[in-house]
Amino acid sequence: MSRSLKKGPYIDEKLLKKVLVQKQTGSNTPIKTWARASQISPDFVGQRLSVHTGNKFVEVYISEAMVGHRVGEFAKTRTFRGHGKVTKRTMDKT
């Protein structure tokens, strides 16, 4: 279910404040964030975020195509290691 239009998009206030300060200073260090539910606003474009996955931080560069999506969509929390391996059994003839 989507958020109501009356409320507007959910953008974490602390994260937005950090991005705006970084834009003014012009530094390009990644911003650490745990706010995976926050939506990406047009102000975020061109910034680097370090998004927490649960045990480490994944660095994400924000582009124009990401606007409107959630921050957590671009930092996967699970690692796919493949389906079960098939092993062949050899029959011993005795």
In this prediction, residue 93 has a pLDDT band, given cuts at 50, 70 and 90, of low
pLDDT at 90: 73
Burial bucket for residue 26 (CB in 10 Å: 0-12, 13-18, 19+): exposed
Query: Quick one: tokens of 84?
Result: 């079960």
Task: Identify the residue with better confidence: 20 or 89.
Answer: 20
**pLDDT one-digit tens code per residue, 57-88:** 999 999 999 999 999 999 999 988 888 888 77
Can you tell me the distance from the alpha carbon of 21 to that of 72, in angstroms, rounded to the nearest whole number? 22
- Rounded mean pLDDT of the chain? 92
Would you kindly state where each structural domain of the chain is located, as residue ranges? 13-74
Q: pTM for this structure? A: 0.80
Residue 51 has pLDDT above 80, yes or no: yes
**What residues does 58 pair with on adjacent strands?**
51
pLDDT at 14: 97
> Which of 22, 58, 60 minimizes the C-alpha distance to 40?
60
Helix (H) or strand (E) holding 35: none
In this prediction, residue 50 has a pLDDT band, given cuts at 50, 70 and 90, of very high
- DSSP state, 7? T
CATH of 13-74 among 3.40.718.10, 3.40.50.970, 3.90.100.10, 3.30.860.10: 3.30.860.10
